[in-house]
Structure 1
């Protein structure tokens, strides 16, 4: 790979090639990033819902056990 870019100007390596890569694979990169962000959001919502459910069940169980103590 270095032999290919050896005679080229610096802007070919550092400007043109990354721009071409972004144009060619930009949609794929955007899709992957969107999928990962969506997955993380769904995991966060899942954890919040499970945590809320555990909190409500513990509250209910502790309040029902304290009522039966009377």
Structure 2
């Protein structure tokens, strides 16, 4: 039995309102934790990229100023 056959006799609001609400209630915590994890991971990656970029900028600036002192 396919999903289309199960939903064939159902009204539109069951397919497009009731079922998604049930899925959100049941899996809402899981969905929220996954979204939170992904956002946290992206934030940490952004911070790491900024720190590495700042370090490279400072090292290049220090190396260029120390070269002229030689």
| TM-score for the superposition, normalised by structure 1 | 0.94
Show the counterpart of 1:18. 20
| 1:1-70 to 2 correspondences below 5 Å | 1-68=3-70
Distance 1:47 1:7 in 2: 53
Distance 1:40 1:12 in 2: 36
Distance 2:9 2:63 in 1: 75
Mind listing any 5+ residue stretches in structure 2 that lack a counterpart? none
| RMSD of aligned alpha carbons | 0.6
Q: How many residues end up aligned between the 2 structures?
A: 68
Mind listing any 5+ residue stretches in structure 1 that lack a counterpart? none
| TM-score for the superposition, normalised by structure 2 | 0.94
Displacement over 2 Å in runs of 4+? none
Q: Compute the displacement of 1:52 (Å).
A: 0.3
Q: Compute the displacement of 1:39 (Å).
A: 0.3
